[in-house]
Amino acid sequence: MAQKYFKPAEGGLLVDVSCGSGLFSRRFAKSGTYSGVIALDFSENMLRQCYDFIKSDASVMDTNLALVRADVARLPFASGSVDAVHAGAALHCWPSPSNAIAEITRVLRSGGVFVGTTFLRYTPSTPRILRPLRQVFLTNYNYLTAEEIEDVCTSCGLTNYTSEIRQSFIMFSAQKP
């Protein structure tokens, strides 16, 4: 699903932040659509697992895929140097989603695309009586509402925001002007 949003970034550099085991990083690299793919995670253990998966798949070993350990709120890239950023099921894990999205905006080139997926605190279909309970029981993560995600993206300078919601899952896209 994310690939359709990345059309403007074809041939460019894609960074998969909070890549975890590298499932999406490997798929992006194997697609041959990008000049390079960077699998980035703060967890050394996740990057080790990602590397183990890469080693076990010869078709990925021949791609332009690099692993980088870094904090999403302090990306080790020059401003305007990245064509696309993917954050799959990650936003709710970040200590400060606003700091992370501001940093993503900084590294994106003009016209660059940010695509993310995450789980929502609640959706419009969640009964109002259950909403406070979800906030109490989901305290270890930063679950946001769809409106809050859009607000953070636009307040960080991203435009052309779009989203698709399926139950409590959201995929969203925004672009740096």
pLDDT given for residue 23 in this prediction: 96
pLDDT given for residue 138 in this prediction: 52
| Phi-psi domain of 11 (left: phi exceeds 0; alpha: psi -120 through 50; beta: other) | left
Residue 165 · residue 122 · CB < 8 Å: no
pLDDT given for residue 168 in this prediction: 82
pLDDT given for residue 62 in this prediction: 85
First CA to last CA distance, the chain? 22
pLDDT given for residue 129 in this prediction: 53
pTM of the model: 0.89
Whole-angstrom distance, CA of residue 29 vs CA of residue 137: 37
| Count of beta carbons in the 10 Å neighbourhood of residue 166 | 8
Domains of the chain: 10-70 (3.40.50.150), 96-176 (3.40.50.150)
Q: How many CA atoms lie within 13 A of 26 on its CB side?
A: 18
pLDDT in tens, the chain (177 residues): 788 999 999 999 999 999 999 999 999 999 999 999 999 999 999 999 999 999 999 999 889 999 999 999 999 999 999 999 999 989 988 999 999 999 999 999 999 999 999 988 655 555 455 545 545 455 566 788 899 999 999 999 999 999 999 888 899 999 999
**Cα-to-chain-centroid distance, residue 105:** 12
Whole-angstrom distance, CA of residue 86 vs CA of residue 14: 7
Whole-angstrom distance, CA of residue 99 vs CA of residue 1: 26
**Cα-to-chain-centroid distance, residue 23:** 13
pLDDT given for residue 115 in this prediction: 98
